[in-house]
Amino acid sequence: MSIDKNKIKNILEEINAEKWVKNIQIFGNKVMIDAVSPSPAMHDKKKLEDKLTESIHQDFPDADVQVRVEVKSTAKPSPSKENPQILGKKIDGIQNIIAVASGKGGVGKSTVASNLAVSLREMGFQVGLLDADIHGPSIPTMFDVERAKPHSVNVNGKSRMEPIESYGIKILSIGFFTAIDQAVVWRGAMASKALQQLIHDAHWGKLDFLIVDLPPGTGDIQLSLVQQVPVTGAVIVSTPQDVALADARKGVNMFQLESINVPVLGIVENMSYFTPEELPENKYYIFGKNGAKNLADKLNVPFLGEVPLIQGIREGGDQGRPATAEANSLASEIYRSITKNMVKSLVERNTNLPPTEIVRITTMSGCSS
């Protein structure tokens, strides 16, 4: 049985709990609820949380129910204090925000994001790259700026972070603010707050593209991004094998949810095949053949292209030199083709579809996004 907002609303009304629930949001089988406890007592907050969770599980036993209970306050909080994640607004000067995502880790998403950014810059665009993988930032390593520290600049009387520039790309990452070997052990709310600051407290200037390298999965950071800025479109990265394609499908479905509605510009297949230098005519499909292309056809989204296993791409990422920066290399030709396909898909998207709206938390009054 599919979960929708009206069904959850009816469940809450049956147990007379609708008056305590401020917001509900549904993403697939995940049900996220913000509630207000009439009592500050810990046991009352726990009782309300258990009541909501158990009631929903009676009708939807497989649902991933997440309930956040706050204490009712007599003071009227400002919107930023009430929910610091919902500060969605367009960023002045940025024309297109492209999310690069994957359902599964280890498929080369950050490598694809980095080389897409460099390809766009080589095509003459002004490009920024935001490393939104809060817990596993890798973009500083890929651009050889691990030890760089952004400094503050005054913009219209406000202090803003100045992105680090490398290979003509403006870059920001949580990796600039932590030690190289420091683990970022944060809960979702803190990670989302950090993402908010990287987006809105930065001096990006005028950009044709801001590429956002998302963490793998479909969790808090993905939701925070679409709540904070109008994402123009998403690029999904996968490898050909079934275990990766299953998660890639979830990534596509997340952006296509009615409550999110971000156009998917296409799918990139990474690690498609291997060609030895001594056998340039041979292709070895180590992880399977045409998996992502077939998935794109099934889901009716564009297939942007395939990236083979090329030693230079791996070496470039490890050495802080994006492979696409080397003109006339095989990697640069491949990524240039993929980037052109993405831009073509973007032009069609901007011609035929209205601008993406920022996702709003669903309220009980009408349950509208």
Structure tokens at 348: 């069609």
* Residues tagged in the binding site annotation for ATP: 103-110
Helix 330-352, helix 109-122: angle, nearest 10: 80
* Residues tagged in the binding site annotation: 103-110
Are the C-beta atoms of 362 and 23 separated by less than 8 Å? Answer: yes
Measured at the CA of 40, the angle between CA 54 and CA 33, to 5 degrees, comes to 35
pTM for the structure as a whole: 0.72
Closest alpha carbon to 92 in 137, 158, 139, 140: 158
What's the length of the chain?
A: 369
How far apart are the C-alpha atoms of 123 and 300, rounded to whole Å?
Answer: 28
- The tens-digit pLDDT sequence of the chain (369 residues) is 677 778 888 888 888 887 888 778 776 777 888 888 777 767 777 888 888 888 888 888 888 888 888 776 544 434 433 333 334 577 889 999 999 999 888 899 999 999 999 999 999 999 999 998 888 889 999 999 998 998 888 888 888 899 999 999 999 998 888 777 777 777 767 777 888 888 888 999 999 999 999 988 777 788 788 888 889 999 999 999 888 998 898 889 888 876 688 899 999 999 999 988 788 788 999 999 999 999 999 999 999 999 999 888 988 888 889 988 888 888 899 999 999 999 999 998 888 887 877 765 443 333 333
Are the C-beta atoms of 226 and 359 separated by less than 8 Å? Answer: yes
Q: Which domains does the chain have, with CATH numbers?
A: 5-75 (3.30.70.1770), 94-352 (3.40.50.300)
In the beta sheet, which residues pair with residue 27?
A: 30
